[in-house]
Every structure is written in C-alpha cells, then in structure tokens.
Amino acid sequence: MIMSGYFKIQYVWRRLPGRYTNVMRNEAYLQKSLWKRPFHTKVTKDSSGLPVVHHSKYVCDIPANHRFPMGKFPKILLFLLRDQIITDKQVWTPDLASEELLALVHTEEYVDKFIHGKTSPEEQKRTGFSWSDGLATRCRYETGGTVLAAGIALQRGLACSTAGGTHHAFPSYGAGFCLINDLAVAAKYWMEESSQKRKVLIVDLDVHQGDGTAYIFREEPDVFTFSMHCGSNFPVRKQQSDLDVSLKDGLEDKMYLATVQAYLPSILDSFRPDLVLYDAGVDPHWDDELGKLRLTDQGLYQRDLFVIDTTVSRGIPVAAVIGGGYCNDTDRLALRHSILHRVAAQVWKKRSL
C-alpha cells in the first residue's frame, strides 16, 4: 500500500459537541431557512426517519449500449421503499440547481456552454456523454440534490441523496461522466451561507481520485479534501488533495477498512469540520467494471458504517452521495449503492437523530 499526503493546516478549534442538535429542527424553521436559498423544496416530511433526497429526473435518456449505468438511480429508491428502509414520506425532492448556484464553482462561460449545449465535440467526448438537454437537466437536479442533502444534514445531522459524487468536473470543463461538481457546489454554498464561515470536509472514497474537487479547493483552507482511491485507476494525472491515500490494485476489505480507520478520525479531530460531505462510491467493489480494488458488499457496509457513525458520533453533520459504480446489471448495482442508505438508516436510529 502506498500512502502519501499532507495536511494543509492543522486546525485547533474548540469543538462544540452536539451543536446541531441545539438548533431548531422543526419543519417550519427548516422551510423558512430554505426559503431564500437558490433552490426550493417541498416540505411535507416525516421527521422521524432518515431524509433521502431523490428526483425522477436524476435519470435521462442515453444510448442503450452506453457504459454509464443510468438505470441505477430510480432503482436505488425503489429498493429502499420495497425493503421498507424508508417510506415515501422521507423522500425530499430537490429543485433544479440555478445558474447562479453552479457559478459558485464553475466559470460563467462553462455554465453557459453546459446549459445551452455549446460545448465542443472534444469537450463532450472528455465527459463521456453527448450533450442533450435531458443530460444538462439531470446534472442540475443531481447538484440540487446534493446541496439539499447537505442543508438537511446541517439541520438534522444526516441525509443521503440517491445520486451525486461527480468529482471529476473542473471549473471550466467536465470529465469522466462528471459535468458539474456537485460536491464542490454544495461545499462552497454551505460554507459561505453562514455568517460564521463553515468548515467542510469532503471524504471521497470513490475508487477514482476526486481530482476536480481537489483542484477547486486547492487554495481554500476551510475545505479539506480527503481522497482515498486506487492509484492505477482514472485519472492518470492526479491532482493534490489535502490528503491523498493511493491504494494498490486488488486491496481487500480488511486492509481497506484499516486504512480508513487510520486516517478519518485524526482528520475529524484536527480539522474539526462543521459539515462532512461523503462520496460513498461503490466502485471499489470486486465486481465493478472499472474499479481495481476487491471490496465485498460486507466491506462496503463496514466502510460506510465506520465513516458515518464515527462522524455523527462527534456531533458533525453528514450528507452522503452515492458516487460511482459500474455494472451492466443495474439491479445488482442499485442494491450495492443502497448499502449506503441502509447503513445511514441504522445510524439514524442508533443515534436517535
């Protein structure tokens, strides 16, 4: 195992245990506090269970033989409802991310090109998708979903989306199936939304490095980017996160989990974030078509449980997104992604959120 990285700044902040439990968490407050923000949502929710953010437009039409498993998104929600992990009253619906929201991270020129289909064939090829209006809409709902999940997490302690984690998008271009960097948009928005600037930790455990996110926040001391990825996977040219942990091909559950356990608690205790955004990509799984690690379902379960419970137990809100996962069988893949929500529902119950 190769491990490298550095801490940008060692923070010594007074931690405020359970601070989010002290804010008003009722629906009226939440609705009011979200009212003037650049997105809206329907607030008719069951406050007793894990909030899950989903939109039917997380999915759009792409060619049938396309490698990107678009069909997984609605199936994740269907499986969660079918298996009674959540009820439909726990499902929150995001609105389309506005151009203003996207421009927090992306250049105005790129936002204009992305929304209006003006990217060149070369630019589109780099993203892995041919541009369509449906694709742009899908990405905007997905970004709205991550921003909303983070907002709910700040109020309630924990929330998950059924999409998100498009970490290869840079300010002026998209890459590797990622057109808009939803994690960066959410981090930037919620960091600056408060009168006292929030500190955001992005825990990116997708098998691919979170290169776009690392680049976007390379000079931002209030966002800490932690990426643990397979060194030989895309992208070939890595960026420098605040902490990169590069893993060798074929790593299995035990060593993988030991590595997460070796790093995460110390990052939480030194950086002391006000919010954690967790990219729970399932492409480290042995059966993944792109990833080169060898985690099992149980390994993913243990990983998600460790990340979420370790963070929530410190009184730090967590918003989780599904990240990457590649498999022709979208039933199997959606079930694998739903491990995240199953774990989150357990932690929600255990911690009485």
Q: Which residues bind Zn ion (CB under 5 A)?
A: 206, 208, 281, 283, 324
Instruction: Give the β-pairing of 243-247 and 223-230.
Output: parallel
Contacts of 203 (CB under 8 A, 6+ apart): 226, 264, 276, 277, 278, 279, 307
Contacts of 304 (CB under 8 A, 6+ apart): 280, 320, 339, 340, 343, 344
User: Over the range 305-327, which residues count as b (16 or more CB within 10 Å of their CB) and which as e?
Assistant: bbbbbbbbebbbbbbbbbbbbbb
Instruction: Give the β-pairing of 243-247 and 158-161.
Output: unpaired
Between 291 and 317, whose beta carbon lies closer to Zn ion? 291
Between 208 and 292, whose beta carbon lies closer to Zn ion? 208
In the bound complex, which residue of the shown chain has the CB atom lying closest to Zn ion?
Answer: 324
Q: Give me the helices (H) in 250-329, please.
A: 253-271, 297-312
Between 233 and 338, whose beta carbon lies closer to Zn ion? 233
153 with 67: CB under 8 angstroms?
no
Look at residue 295 and give its three-state secondary structure. strand
Closest approach, Cβ 36 to Zn ion, in A, equals 35
Between 266 and 296, whose beta carbon lies closer to Zn ion? 296
Closest approach, Cβ 51 to Zn ion, in A, equals 25
- The CA radius of gyration of the chain, in Å to the nearest whole number, is 18
